[in-house]
A = this chain, B = another copy of it.
């Protein structure tokens, strides 16, 4: 083989192996952080609504903490190679999106925007050839949010909070309507979107249960879903 080619190829192959190792380390850290976030947020299922704000206060700095990771990744990834390496951290970033979205919902009752996620995780627009938040990962995070909210609707009732399921129902129906306007291919995202229907149904059943037993005001006297 041409010596020049041989050297070039070998340096390329070894560089890749090296880089993979370094990214792996960062992803390992990223995973640790998001695991803690998710672990803390898991407590919402047993927390009464008055104690939620303090729980959120614990989580927020942990999310912001992910910025050191995103910065390291953006520095590691060579120019133009974002799409080559992104699969390595997509699970972590989806978990982070989920965390940020749940904090936003619990704090403000609204859906977090892409801009806000990028801001929280410290992802800069000028990194886009090395690190960015693709639409796909944002959507995956939102689906996980819905999965968790259907669980929360159930547990809120157990804790005697009968209003929460109504709020969740309105929020999720809205989000679901948004999703159904997207043109999804037949991939994981599509399959997970299809599974949203079950979450929606479960939430409706909780609302039914509390309505039937008149544990909440009748629909006419309740806040309406936005049209």
Contact = CB atoms under 8 A, between A and B. Distances in A.
Given A1-B111, A46-B225, A80 B158 contact: no
Interface residues of A, number: 66
A185 B45 CA distance: 27
Contacts of A205: 154
A141 B175 CA distance: 26
A195 interface: no
Interface string A1-19: 1101110111011100100
A84 B182 CA distance: 21
Number of copies: 6
A130 to B, nearest CB: 9
Given A158-B212, A160-B220, A209-B212, 11 more contacts: A1-B174, A5-B113, A6-B178, A8-B135, A9-B114, A10-B181, A13-B182, A39-B181, A42-B177, A82-B83, A83-B83
A173 interface: yes
Interface string A151-188: 10011011110000000000001110111111111000
